[in-house]
A and B are shown apart, each in its own frame.
Chain A
């Protein structure tokens, strides 16, 4: 138990480091800008002339703190962190005066839902099929499957999503093309609404799964084909352990472990994919909010989303890292 505590403490340190570096890069990037974002933004809002002077002042205040057009860079940096700790990014510019945190809060469940389901599914499907392909390496169907996976894997998310969109909404219109649910439905836990959400999530998650499954498949196939030649497997096979049991409890079980570490390492890349997938399918998650915010020149929203994305992704990695030793007892000893 004590070694587990040390392990967790190390992971917490790493988590803190990731957030620190990520947020610092964010801070640096926003300070590279040659133009004064605060006055630029204030001018943009006040040209429409519908806001009260108090709310404009509030906006200027929060922008100044976020972009830190104060006197001292260190001071600005500290104020930036304080804002972030309170998750207060001020009011959004494009949806003035709705706070940025509220917009993000509304979008984030969609992204988390989409990502959790598609990541776990592609991880599971890819590993099981890849494990079988590694074990039964002469099986013709699995070989063809391997070639398909290899062809799909290097194709970027955008292209897969785009092709799916054309095929299933244009050539063969059976699935909804955009949105998270049907427009005229009331949100709530009614069967109709849940069904609509599921229907709308099929294409986005399918495109994420199609791209994601390939790397798990190939990684697992390589791992399994190495393990198969290990002495303990040969011994078990000679001792008469049935084939099915050999694959599941002797070979695949061990090969799954490095794949869990792989999952933690790929979360960031999966998140990148989700941003573009949401954009293609008009899914109301954080990725689409980000793209819209850029087009609307909404500084606070872009900054808010970037910071939240960094924290959320590193938190997901942290959680996987924490769970890992519970599955693989060797980690506690070696770490």
Chain B
């Protein structure tokens, strides 16, 4: 079988692929090297965020980790830092992500299971115990309760004597993608967006080197979207945040340099490279032309990339090491600022230490052995790649125009409408179903799954999987109980009342939340007070 036997050659998001691309063909398509590419580090940043790219500084190797109690995750952090990791990223468990304490009814079985369990500021202190916060940049992967977890982090920095201005790191704080991507929402869209903007406003004034939002496409892609949708909805989310902060009275050049992005990387090598390049170009053009940014830092998109967990296959799991390597290569050729390579065993469970060691080695082989880091955007100018880059931009901009129209010229209102009406959810559900049909029909070949050599046995061989210790759940609930017993109930209740009062009065919620976490108030109690105030989002379940 040759690949041209497949019904029609097109990229994974459905863009047609011609039999041959030539420089002459690219010239006649209206491609403008000066306007469309520019130099690396210059508008529109298609060729890279920085002039020298990896010659100047390699990407940050940032493997996400989190499981069990804060103590267990702290140990994994020390292991990763000792094995070549250069930044930290925290995965929280589902109860933490959704704003419930570890002893809530719905939390059973999920406490510490897919991420670390954090209920109180004391847990957060233990998570980063002994890790120099001034040196290791930290990423907190949390969204609707971002303001609470960041308050716990800031409280601990203060306690350790680290000035807030010395802190480098990121809080994901991307509330809108929760409704169609990660699905760990806690609040309805409008109040969730308000909290996101509270964090932007507070950090702009008080934590100047912190990245206030990591505008994320990764989860949208994991939810089944294609590359065009990942690109379009991520940029659209970013536009909504920019408009929300501007409505708050912040100047675009004041906060935009501290926005960052986060993408997934899938199997279609060239489409993915094109996606990263065009994401930078779209963001630069929108920030300059639509929002009036004047500082280059406001237009320059920087992003983290993670190889997509959903591309990992159960059959012959060692083959996932190759998939991760190719995806990581696409991210590097696309100019990522930091990278996570998913563990080859993640179709079975969260990754073992062995899998994480191989993921880090994958990154180091790319960085040091392959030579791809030697010059910026080495594929720039390729007729195929530039054509794809233009096609992706056109398709993504069509989505953005549709959403903009839903908000009558406001992307903030447009995104809220696109979410509440189920439009985004439904677009993603359709793409996700199309992909599954392509795999099941054999139209898209995945080795070991639907190719001619596949059999039904899921040849896991002698994989040594991560072993979760359910006693971690009991230990966490004990810790939570201890904090509740040791605090002043009067102070705790007073600080919760302050939070509710501020919520009703439209003030910034960070100051009262900082007071509350210092008084031993739990994440679930704070989010519970906000849920009582604003209600809880119920997923419409569109399929």
Are A and B bound to each other? no
Which of A's residues lie within 8 Å of B, judged by CB?
none
